[in-house]
Amino acid sequence: MLPLELTLVVAATRNMGIGRNGTLPWTGLKKEMAYFARVTKRAPSLLNQDGNPPGMNTVIMGRKTWDSIPPKFRPLKGRLNIVLSRSHAEPLAKYINAETEAVKVGSLEQAIQYLQTGSTAAQTGRVFIIGGAQIYAAALQLREAKRVLLTSIMSDFECDTFFPLQLSETSTQTDGSGAGRWVRKSKEELDQWTGETVPDGIQEENETRYEFQMWERV
Ligand code: NDP
């Protein structure tokens, strides 16, 4: 089994609101969405050291988040898409065309198993959990969940769905699973991990203020 690390990617308000009526509470954050696309697509350079081509990254999401993506944009391009649903009971197909279809699994454990075994293992790049709340909650229970790439939205939005972990400098960031504490990493560490110079400080788009952050479990 290959070791596997899960990185959660989320945009959340100060009280960790992430969704409303099955969609995002905000609109028009084009640069924020472009950041999400770049970071989740970029292959980690570390995997290149053995001379092999980098693997394709994976995005894992819940069925409701998949449903919220307009059909013409899914599967999300340049990444292996894995979708969780309790109704996905069919046996896993080992070979899929990642450009046109998603892997359907019945649990997060099954998704991880899919990535760690068999023919996909050698090509696996980074693995991102991209929501929604139910899938974040399942992922945070696993010790493989090591990192959160948080876009901290500083403007207020009404939300009905929330990230199940409070990440803010003024609170104690425990996740309830007893599996550790979360600390904010520096801008340099964020740049190094993402492989780009991430815009620093408060950003503003469409009258919405936000900041790119990285948190790790210690
Ligand atoms: P999810 O996207 O987490 O999907 C939930 C569905 O996933 C369930 O109904 C079930 O599918 C399946 N599922 C959940 N847990 C499991 C499990 N343990 N095993 C197998 N299948 C499972 O839905 P949420 O309602 O929590 O989140 C959606 C909201 O979050 C939307 O508003 C969306 O826009 C928002 N969002 C926000 C993000 C952000 O960064 N701000 C990112 C992603 C989403 P089934 O019913 O088919 O069995």
Give me the pLDDT at residue 49, please. 54
Give me the pLDDT at residue 211, please. 98
Give pLDDT tens digits along the chain (218 positions).
Answer: 667 899 999 999 999 999 999 999 999 999 999 999 999 999 876 545 556 666 799 999 999 999 999 999 999 999 999 999 999 876 677 678 889 999 999 999 999 989 987 556 556 799 999 999 999 999 999 999 999 999 999 999 999 999 999 998 755 556 555 567 999 999 999 999 999 999 999 999 999 999 999 999 99
Do residues 164 and 137 touch, judged by C-beta distance below 8 A? yes
Is 29 a member of any domain? yes
| Number of domains making up the chain | 1
Q: Is 20 exposed, middle or buried (0-12, 13-18, 19+ CB in 10 A)?
A: middle
Give me the pLDDT at residue 180, please. 76
- Nearest CA to 126 out of 71, 66, 79, 174 is that of 79
What's the start-to-end Cα distance of the chain, in Å?
23
ipTM: 0.99
What is the CB < 6 Å shell around ligand 1?
A: 10-11, 18-19, 22-24, 61-65, 68, 84-87, 106-108, 130-135, 138, 161
Residue nearest to atom 19 of ligand 1 (CA): 107
What CATH number is associated with residue 186?
A: 3.40.430.10
Is 103 a member of any domain? yes
How many A from CA of 60 to the centre of ligand 1? 10
Give me the pLDDT at residue 47, please. 45
Is 39 a member of any domain? yes
Q: How far is CA 135 from the centre of its chain?
A: 10
Is 114 a member of any domain? yes
Is 1 a member of any domain? no
Expressed as residue numbers, the domain containing 82 is: 6-45+52-217
Which residue type sits at 67?
A: D
Dist. CA 195–CA 198, nearest whole Å: 9
How many A from CA of 201 to the centre of ligand 1? 30
- Nearest CA to 9 out of 208, 212, 187 is that of 212
pLDDT tens for residues 44-90? 765 455 566 667 999 999 999 999 999 999 999 999 999 999 998 76
Q: Decide: pTM greater than 0.90.
A: yes
pLDDT tens for residues 191-205? 999 999 999 999 999
